[in-house]
Amino acid sequence: MIHYGRHHIDEDDINAVVEQLRSGWLTQGPKVSEFETVVANYVGARYAVAVSNGTAALHLACLAAGVDEGDRVITTPNTFVASANAAHFVGATAHFADIDARTLNIDPIALAEECRTLGKVKAIIPVHFAGLACDMQAIRIVAEKYGAIVIEDAAHALGAEYHEGGRVGNCRNSDMTIFSFHPVKMITTGEGGMITTNSEVYYRKLLRLRSHGINKLDDPFEHRDDAYTDGEKNAWYYEMQELGFNYRITDIQAALGLSQFQKLENFLDRRRALSMRYDQAFKKSGNVTPQQNEGRQLSSMHLYVVRIPFQQLGIRRHHFMSRLRDYGYTTQVHYIPAHYHPFYRKKGYLPGRYPVSEQYFDECLSLPLFYGLQEASQDHLVACIAELLH
């Protein structure tokens, strides 16, 4: 069975993990900071903080930004629910702005209108859907007008570039950026995530929050009488200065991440090449429309998404996907609009509110795309789709 996405692990990765297991460091060791430094340098940010997963990264970013009870956070309906849920983790409320039909990312015009309607917005979480970067310059302008923090959800976009230049994650037009290292992402650590920022204040806070709220680096102690003996710091002393979490990543995962990172450019090149093969194959198809086909060389190509007018063709998407599965291919739908889920419907977000996202959802389908996908399998899948549509 060929799935829509999968990881690629080779002997170098296995050896890196085995070597780490033999090193004596399993967690909270030097590999984590090495991994953070490599990612920060690659994207062009001052700081990076590795965490247990991408959702934890979103949670901590909201906490570090001071998003709190009663605050309003805007994100896109076209995302995995974690982007919106992070607001509710900290007591805030998620709101949505519709997408641009061309990019499938949050529409800066719709974002500005949502901000104007709400009046006061604490944070904006744009999502670089499928690896194509949002228009961060336009989003930053809106955020500055309404005094909002910007947290980029780049779970799909490690290795992607902004249309104005620079790698996603450099935080030139945002306060923080989060990444995910789930197995279907660009590189994997099994589970894992990362937050990049150029703010030392956020960096220090993120370090504390990821590890139970305990003071880190040279953060000053609040109870100095307990912390020092005759002017010398007690080696055993630490302070939990705020409520934090155990969102740490292990050295084993970081070792895998570092090994995977060495292959990132190859992964990106392969995904882009396969995407352009799909583009060429569907060029003359009247019923299969590739999405985000402008900017292939800037996107990380986490997903290859097409639109098929299932209703117009009298085809049920479920049946279509089942037939493809019979041929040996698993496809997927990215995503059920966040406001469709029962949790958000109960908060008043009913269908019909974000028409561009909803129309896209009715027609979208993600096709297999990953480093190890063979051209012969790709060509066979295209032929199967053509057969089923006719």
CA separation for the pair 207, 222 (Å, rounded): 17
Q: CA separation (Å) from 302 to 35, 67, 178, 190, 269?
A: 21, 29, 15, 16, 12
**Tokens representing 349?**
């977000």
Antiparallel, parallel or unpaired: β 364-367 and 304-307: antiparallel
CA separation for the pair 307, 359 (Å, rounded): 10
Closest to 199 measured CA to CA, from 171, 230, 168: 171
Phi/psi class of residue 294: alpha, beta or left (left: φ > 0; alpha: ψ in -120 to 50)?
beta
pTM for the whole structure:
0.97
Burial of residue 247 (CB within 10 Å: 0-12, 13-18, 19+) is buried
CATH numbers and ranges of domains, the chain: 11-261 (3.40.640.10), 264-389 (3.90.1150.10)
User: What is the three-class DSSP state of 327?
Assistant: helix
CA separation for the pair 247, 249 (Å, rounded): 7
Q: Please state the φ and ψ torsions of residue 179, each to the nearest 5 degrees.
A: -125, 160
DSSP states along 238-274: --B-S---B-PPBHHHHHHHHHHHTTHHHHHHHHHHH
CA separation for the pair 50, 61 (Å, rounded): 12
CA separation for the pair 219, 239 (Å, rounded): 10
Per-residue pLDDT of the chain (390 residues; tens, 9 = 90+): 999 999 999 999 999 999 999 999 999 999 999 999 999 999 999 999 999 999 999 999 999 999 999 999 999 999 999 999 999 999 999 999 999 999 999 999 999 999 999 999 999 999 999 999 999 999 999 999 999 999 999 999 999 999 999 999 999 999 999 999 999 999 999 999 999 999 999 999 999 999 999 999 999 999 999 999 999 999 999 999 999 999 999 999 999 999 999 999 999 999 999 999 999 999 989 999 999 998 899 999 999 999 999 999 999 999 999 999 999 999 999 999 999 999 999 999 999 999 999 999 999 999 999 999 999 999 999 999 999 998
CB proximity list for 61: less than 8 A, separation 6 or greater:
86, 151, 176, 178, 195, 206
